[in-house]
Amino acid sequence: MNYYYNYNYICIVVNFKYEQVKRNIERFPPDFCFQLNEMEFDNWRSHFATSNSDKMGVRRAPYVFTEQGVAMLASVLKSKTAINASVLIMRAFVAMRRFLLTNAQVFVELNTIKKHLKETDLHQLENDKKIEYLLSIMDRYRLEEKQGVFFQGQIFDAYAKFESFIQGAQREIILIDQYVDLSILERLAKKQIGVNVTIITSPRTKLSSQDIQRFNAQYPTLTLQHSTTIHDRFLIIDHATLYHIGASLKDLGNKCFAFEIMEDSSRIIPMILANI
Other CB atoms within 10 Å distance of the CB of residue 247: 19
According to the model, what pLDDT value does residue 13 have? Answer: 61
Q: HSE on the CB side for 259, CA within 13 Å? A: 27
Q: How far apart, in whole angstroms, are the C-alpha atoms of residue 75 and residue 86?
A: 9
According to the model, what pLDDT value does residue 251 have? Answer: 82
Domains, the chain, ordered by start: 2-107 (no CATH), 147-274 (3.30.870.10)
130 in helix, strand or coil?
helix
pLDDT tens for each residue of the chain, 276 residues long = 455 555 455 555 655 556 667 778 888 888 888 878 888 777 777 765 444 444 445 667 777 777 777 777 767 766 666 666 667 666 766 776 676 667 666 667 777 887 777 777 777 777 777 767 666 655 554 444 566 787 888 888 888 888 888 999 999 999 999 989 898 898 899 999 999 999 999 999 888 999 999 999 999 999 999 999 888 899 999 999 999 988 888 888 778 888 888 888 888 999 999 888
In contact, 100 and 12? CB cutoff 8 Å: no
Q: How far apart, in whole angstroms, are the C-alpha atoms of residue 173 and residue 223?
A: 10
Going from the C-alpha of 206 to that of each of 202, 221, 226, 253, 258, the distances in angstroms are: 9, 19, 12, 20, 25
Other CB atoms within 10 Å distance of the CB of residue 242: 22
The DSSP-derived string for 162-200 is HHHHHHT-SSEEEEE-S---HHHHHHHTTSPTT-EEEEE
